[in-house]
Amino acid sequence: MVKSKKRDERAEPVLFYPMDVLPPSAATCRAALYDAFADYRAALHVCPTCFGEDNQEELRLTARQPVERANYAVIRQFLFEHPNCCDGLDSIRHWLPRLLEAGFFDTDAFPSPIAQVYRSGLWLWPEQEQAAIRAAVRRAAEGWFRGGSPAPFDEPAALRLSLARHRRGLQRDARKADAIAEAERPLGLHEENACSRFSVQSLLLTRFEPRAVFDWLLQCGSRRAIAVIVEMLEESSLGDDIVYYSTPFGPAGAEEIEQALADATSALNRLVRHALFEVVTDERLLALYETVCQSDPGLAETLCRAEYAWGIGAYEAWLTDPGAEIARLRHLLRIAGQGKALSFGGTSSP
């Protein structure tokens, strides 16, 4: 009986990962991302309603190139559609390394790239794929919040310029010169904050321990890190872009899988809110304010707003039972371990 119990404990899947371990270099993370998804092939039988004739032709031409050289503006639509409209999740996985590399900070994407991957059942994917995404997300966060570089993902400003040039090339409109000029301007504060939210959301959705994420952000102490903490204090969830689940599983498993994903997202939201107010205490906010009140008045004003939000949200967060939420999250991982994810392929005919 004892031996059997030990085996069960060893078989319990890892739920969260620490933030205190530095990931490999950006180049190593990028290579691991492409390697993890190298066996998937582009299926081009996409939905003709969702993908217009011009877009389908561009996809056919793009598929002849190595995936790492794919034009993000051409494959970007895979982020907006249900996997079944893209000839299955395997087709999305083929393009995923390039979608993440070029479009991770695409602030116009809805849902965000990682949110799209998450709602397609990320936690049920093979561990090598999850680990590659997780390492790349961690490396990007390290650079973004500490040094300003989002590697291994592309710079947000470069992405914006690339998309503007592609639109101009398609439409041949002289007015698009204005769009190019607009795209060449420096990254604004609103866009920078959006990129920071994408980064933190991605850390949480790829299963970094929530308390460790917020503690790490406070330790970073950068303007970006402090600003995103303030925004999260004022928000009630991980984001409003996980509105439904797009798992292309067989009919026998779809309802159970999608219900488990919805339950897990709700549990994760509550757990994240609890961790946020547990780590970001009123005392720590005051200490941050005293640190920046002279050097950065704008950030000091933002922290004053955060103190008000903290007082409103703390009571509700403290009502959360972390143990109960963790149990709900583990249920989703057990579904993956039991092999109930029936099919990751598409439904289109070859």
DSSP string, 235-258: -SSS-S---S------HHHHHHHH
| Mean pLDDT value of segment 33-57 | 85
Q: What pTM value is reported for the model?
A: 0.84
pLDDT at 216 over 90: yes
pLDDT band at 188 (very low <50, low <70, confident <90, very high): low
pLDDT at 347 over 70: no
pLDDT at 72 over 80: yes
pLDDT band at 34 (very low <50, low <70, confident <90, very high): very high
Q: What percentage of the chain has pLDDT greater than the value 70?
A: 76
Alpha-carbon span 103 to 159, nearest angstrom:
7
For residue 28, what pLDDT is reported? 96
Q: Which residues contact 107 (CB under 8 A, 6 or more apart)?
A: 156, 191, 194, 195, 198
CA dihedral 39, 40, 43, 49 (to 10 degrees): -170
Under 8 Å between Cβ of 148 and 199: no
Alpha-carbon span 40 to 96, nearest angstrom:
10
Q: Which residues contact 264 (CB under 8 A, 6 or more apart)?
A: 123, 328, 329, 331, 332
pLDDT at 221 over 80: yes
Alpha-carbon span 286 to 254, nearest angstrom:
48
Alpha-carbon span 187 to 160, nearest angstrom:
9
Alpha-carbon span 215 to 146, nearest angstrom:
14
Comparison of pLDDT for 103 and 162, the residue scoring more: 103
For residue 135, what pLDDT is reported? 96
What residues pair up with 88 in beta bridges, in sequence order?
345
For residue 174, what pLDDT is reported? 46
Comparison of pLDDT for 102 and 343, the residue scoring more: 102
Q: Which residues contact 199 (CB under 8 A, 6 or more apart)?
A: 137, 140, 141, 144, 145, 150, 228
pLDDT band at 137 (very low <50, low <70, confident <90, very high): very high
pLDDT band at 240 (very low <50, low <70, confident <90, very high): low
DSSP state of 188: P
53-67, 172-186, 290-304 — which is least confidently predicted?
172-186
For residue 337, what pLDDT is reported? 59
CA dihedral 196, 200, 205, 206 (to 10 degrees): 100
Q: Give me the residue label for tokens 């303030």.
A: 230
pLDDT at 248 over 70: no
